[in-house]
Amino acid sequence: QVQLVESGGGLVQAGGSLRLSCAASGSISSPYYMGWYRQAPGKERELVARIRTEGITDYAESVKGRFTISKGNAKNTVNLRMNSLKPEDTAVYYCHFRSIVSAYVYWGQGTQVTVSS
């Protein structure tokens, strides 16, 4: 089992910035992916960004150049820096962990990000 604890999120005006953090604990073995998905009302959950243990990153096209995912200073943590936020970025953001070896997937509880116009 892997537990994910998220922090960050909130309300910001368009053009502003926010940071999300996620810490994983439990039975963690490398390699793995950690990252963020989001789900807006009435829409499917979608990948925002993820980072592999070795540092390889993937981003949704809609956030490239605005969001940056990075490993945190603490072990098994990731940060998502979100700049130039747009109203369409409004969603519940979920931390995601996927073991590459076992393919087990874990989710955080979700944190709301609201961008006002």
In 3D space, the residue among 7, 19, 47, 52 whose CA is nearest the CA of residue 34 turns out to be: 52
Give me the pLDDT at residue 102, please. 86
Mean pLDDT of the chain: 96
pLDDT of 84 strictly over 90? yes
In percent, the amount of the chain with pLDDT more than 70 equals: 100
- Phi, psi at residue 87, to the nearest 5°? -55, -30
Give me the pLDDT at residue 103, please. 84
Give me the pLDDT at residue 106, please. 96
Give me the pLDDT at residue 58, please. 97
Helices (H), 16-66: none
**Tokens read off for 47:** 């990948």
pLDDT in tens, 90-114: 999 999 999 998 889 999 999 999 9
Do 61 and 49 meet the contact criterion of CB atoms below 8 Å apart? no
Residue 90 CA to residue 114 CA, distance in Å, equals 5
pLDDT of 81 strictly over 90? yes
pLDDT in tens, 21-53: 999 999 898 899 999 999 999 999 999 999 999
